[in-house]
Every structure is written in C-alpha cells, then in structure tokens.
Amino acid sequence: MICLVLTGGTIEENVSLYERNKPYVDIVELRLDLLHESSRSRASIFPSLVDVPVILTVRRQIDGGVYEGSERSRLALIESSLDGDFAYVDLEDDIKRSAPEHKAREKHIRIIRSKHDFQGMPSDLYHRIAKISAKGEIPKLAVTPRSILDLITLFRVRTELKDVQEKIILGMGDYGLPSRILYKRLGSLWTYCADNPVAPGQISPQQMKELYRADRVNERTQIFGVIGNPVLHSFSPRIQNPGFHGINFNAIYLPFLVDSVRSFFILAEMLKISGFSVTVPHKQQVLPYLGKITREVKQIGSCNTVVRAKNLWMGINTDYYGFIEPLVTEIDNKNIQSALVIGAGGAARSVVWALRNHGCKVTIINRTIEKAQQLAEETMSSYDSLEHASSYSSVDLIIQTTSVGMIPDRDSDPIPDFTFNRNQIVYEMVYRPKYTKMLQRALESGCRLLFGIDMLVRQGKHQFEAFTGYHYPKRLEHSLQLEED
Ligand code: ATR
C-alpha cells in the first residue's frame, strides 16, 4: 500500500490533499502535530470525511514531528481523537501503558509501535521488530542508513524476519530511498509518501505509483537501477520505467546512492538486481567486478551499463553509442572528416574513441594541456590548449564535453573566441540548459546543433535494449524531455 502523509494545517486542507492524491494512495496518515492548534480538537471527524483507512499520529519533536505541548497533553489529544473511526494509531516505542493504548484496544484500533532513528541504524534492529510483533502490535522502524552496507542490513529484514507478517520498515535519507520504493521486497506493509515531504527522502505519491509502480512489485519483478554519487536527480528512471511499462515488462528502475561499489555488488547479488546504469564517480570503479566487457569499455576504460549475463556481470558503454549514432552516416559519407573535442575528461574519452574508431580526424583541446596530450597519444589524435581553439575554425564538427555552460554556470562559454560557420555541426553534451551559451552562438551562425538531452536519451535507449532485449517503445520517445529550466 502507498500511504499519504497529510501535511495540511486544517482538516479541510487535508481532505483536499487526499482528494488530489486519491488515485495514488491506499491509506493516509493524519499528523495532528502538523495541524493548526485550533483544528486539532476536530481530528476525530477526519476518518468519516475520506474513504480510506486513516492512521492517527501526533509526532514529538524528538521523532521528527513538531508537537510542542507537554507529553501529558499529547497523550490526551491522542486519546480524545480516538473517538474517531481511525484504523490505526501510531504510538512511540517508549510509551508504556498509556490511556490511548487502552482506548485503542477497546475500540479495536490497531497500534503501530514506532521507533525513529535519524542518526543511523539501531544495533538491535531485528530484535526490536520481533519483540513488538510478539505483542500483537505492528512494529514500525524508520531508520537512517548511512551507507550501502547499512542498506544491506535493512534489506536483510526480509529474510531475518520473514515470519513477522505485519511490519513497517523504511530507510530515511538518500541511502534509504531504495527501501522506500522497494518496500514490498522488505516485507513492509506500506511506504510513506508526501506531497510536501516531511521526512528525509520522502517522494510524492504520484511518483511512487506512476513512475515506480512500487505497489505492483512482486516476486517476479526484475530490479534495475542507476548507481552514482550524487544520483537522486538522475533522469534515467524517467527513461527506463515508462519504457518497461510500455512493453509490459515486469521490472522497476530506481536510483541507488552508492558510497562503495564493492558493497553495491553485494547488495546487487542479495536483491538479484538484473542490471544497472553507472554514473559519476563509479564508471571506472565497477571495472574490476566485471566478468566480461566490450571492446569500447576496454578502450575507454569506463563502463556506464552493467547487466547480469548468466553467472557474471557484463559491462558495456552506451554513452559511446548514444554519442556516435547521429554522426555515423555523415562520417561514412565523408561530410564529417575532422572534429574538435573540447575537454579531456571521462566524457571526452568516449567521444574521442568513437570518432577515432570511425576514422575521423580529432583534435583535443583542454584547459590542462597535459590531459589533452595524454588522451591524444592514446587515441592517435592531435591536441592543443583551450586558448588556441580559434585556430581550428575550419573543422566539420565541434563537440563540447566539459561542464562549462551548465547550470548554474550558464553564462560561460568554453571557447568564446571561436567563430562558427554554417557548415559545421555543433554537439553539446551539457543538457541543462538545452541551449548553452556556446550553442546559442552556433545557432546564430547557422550551424546544425546536436543536444545533450538527445544523447542522454539515446544512451538510455541502448541501456533499455541491454536490460530488456527489446527496442524502446517508439510512441514514448516524444515524452522524454526535460522540463525547461
Ligand atoms: P566528465 O566525466 O564529465 O568529462 P571530468 O572527467 O571531471 O568529467 O572532466 C571534466 C572536463 O571538463 C575536463 O576536461 C576539465 O578540464 P581539466 O582537465 O583542465 O580539469 C573540463 N573543465 C571543467 N571545468 C572547466 C572550466 N571551468 N574551464 C575549462 N575546462 C573545464
């Protein structure tokens, strides 16, 4: 089930919050601590205003809530609110033999016994859950994994406590996000979502239901993801998940914040992950774990896609194909014979190797000339410093691979003195904004433009094929756009 945490200040606001999110949620949590004081006394009417089960919660500040009154008044508020037809009441782990407990039992309102840890993971995680469950209450544990190893401990709840049928487990914060999305794999009754997140790592119910389809995950669902650091703003889930749905492929794709690649491979075995995308800074670090790699991965020394192939992990580089695809015909027709590559970092490596493998002449220019020299020697290309860009104004193709011009640096241009001409193709790898300063100049000169976002989508489509064995559904391609910045 997907649970909406109601964050409105009044009963009416919360009813409309529920109405707005109705298609996505199965249960709601009314947080009395977030209600204005004047609305709190009316809480008992709330369950009669909505048609889903309601959890009653009054969170203390030490548990991440905002209730300011005394503990005595908080318990009195819970008790009086229980006159309403609530399905559950959330009481903290350390509340013992209280009046709300008695009233809840009398009224057959189920007690959720909650424990929050905003600092880390309690060492007695499994024991705590088992103990609460033995009393006939529903254990709720919200903890804060701080590494992939912590996330592994959290996911082990599934096997360690498989006999505890009713439990609510979630990992807060960025490392915890996979546990929120894969709540069913944890054996958690539900996952918490909010329109305006009130706990670290919460996402909207619409995303949970429509993008991830988290409530449809079953034993046969294949898990895919993207690993990186940072990674939570990755566009890839918005490419892969709709693609899976589009071809009725039972799979889910989610972001994993990864501190240690080594730990992630352990998690990947544990969750039987079928494949994953790799982004900065792990594209080199995954290499030692791969049993098979393609020629491009070997050449470039970087892998952005890992798939499970029988008993080993196979690494491919779809950045390479996503980049070269729109150029292949032009290179074969000899319309493109020479290229100027700006930058000599990781992205430039794929670009230069792809161009060289297709027989294009390449000059690499970079701020740090030594790095340009190194890549040039490896790939049999030429090199120069960034300041000499204007000497290469007759090339057929210009490719920008640095982060210069990317939001928030949108007024920067890596080659301000370079004069474009209308016969050139200008390929920008920055995708935020779509039109960088350099691209705007190229556009004014009549050049043909190739955009970073299209390359991102192309490499994602190749990943989709590697993951599923199917082409990306054509009818969905038009929707793969970033919102304008
Ligand atoms: P990526 O994987 O995105 O290519 P990277 O490997 O860190 O990232 O490479 C960054 C590239 O952008 C490098 O070519 C870098 O130049 P240096 O080798 O001189 O560091 C280039 N770059 C980053 N910031 C830059 C700036 N402000 N001006 C010019 N080049 C810059």
Per-residue pLDDT tens digits for 332-385: 999 999 999 999 999 999 999 999 999 999 999 999 999 999 999 999 999 999
Candidate from 118-127, 189-198, 389-398 with smallest mean pLDDT: 189-198
Q: How many Å lie between the centroid of ligand 1 and the Cα of residue 366?
A: 8
How many CA within 13 A on the CB side of residue 218?
4
Nearest-CA residue for atom 31 of ligand 1: 402
* Chain centre distance of CA 412: 29
**pLDDT above 80 (res 144):** yes
C-alpha span between 396 and 380 (Å, rounded) = 19
Mean predicted lDDT score pLDDT of the chain: 96
Q: How many Å lie between the centroid of ligand 1 and the Cα of residue 386?
A: 11
Residues touching ligand 1 (Cβ under 6 Å) are 343-348, 366-368, 371, 401-404, 414
Q: How many Å lie between the centroid of ligand 1 and the Cα of residue 348?
A: 9
Tell me phi and psi for residue 471, to 5 degrees.
-70, 155
Catalytic site includes residue 283: yes
CB 211 within 8 A of CB 241: yes
**pLDDT above 70 (res 484):** no
Average pLDDT over residues 73-101: 97
C-alpha span between 189 and 248 (Å, rounded) = 25
Nearest atom in ligand 1 to 343's CA: 14
Residue 485's pLDDT is 53
Tell me phi and psi for residue 241, to 5 degrees.
-60, -50
Ligand 1 pocket, mutate which of 304, 320, 367 (most atoms under 8 A from CB): 367
How many CA within 13 A on the CB side of residue 341?
31
Long-range contacts of 407-411 (CB under 8 A, 24+ apart): 407/432, 407/433, 407/485, 410/436, 410/437, 411/437
Nearest atom in ligand 1 to 347's CA: 4
Nearest-CA residue for atom 27 of ligand 1: 404
Indicate the DSSP class of residue 60.
B
Of 325, 356, 350, 324, residue with least CA distance to 338? 356
Nearest atom in ligand 1 to 367's CA: 19
Q: How many Å lie between the centroid of ligand 1 and the Cα of residue 400?
A: 10
- 3-state class (DSSP) for residue 129: helix
Indicate the DSSP class of residue 226.
E
pLDDT confidence tier of residue 200, bands split at 50, 70 and 90: confident
The residue from 283, 310, 371, 461 that is catalytic is 283
Query: pTM for the complete prediction?
Result: 0.94
Give how far Cα 28 sits from Cα of 31, 49, 193, 413, Å. Answer: 9, 12, 9, 49
Q: How many Å lie between the centroid of ligand 1 and the Cα of residue 414?
A: 10
Nearest-CA residue for atom 9 of ligand 1: 345
Nearest-CA residue for atom 21 of ligand 1: 402
Nearest-CA residue for atom 26 of ligand 1: 404
Residue 218's pLDDT is 97
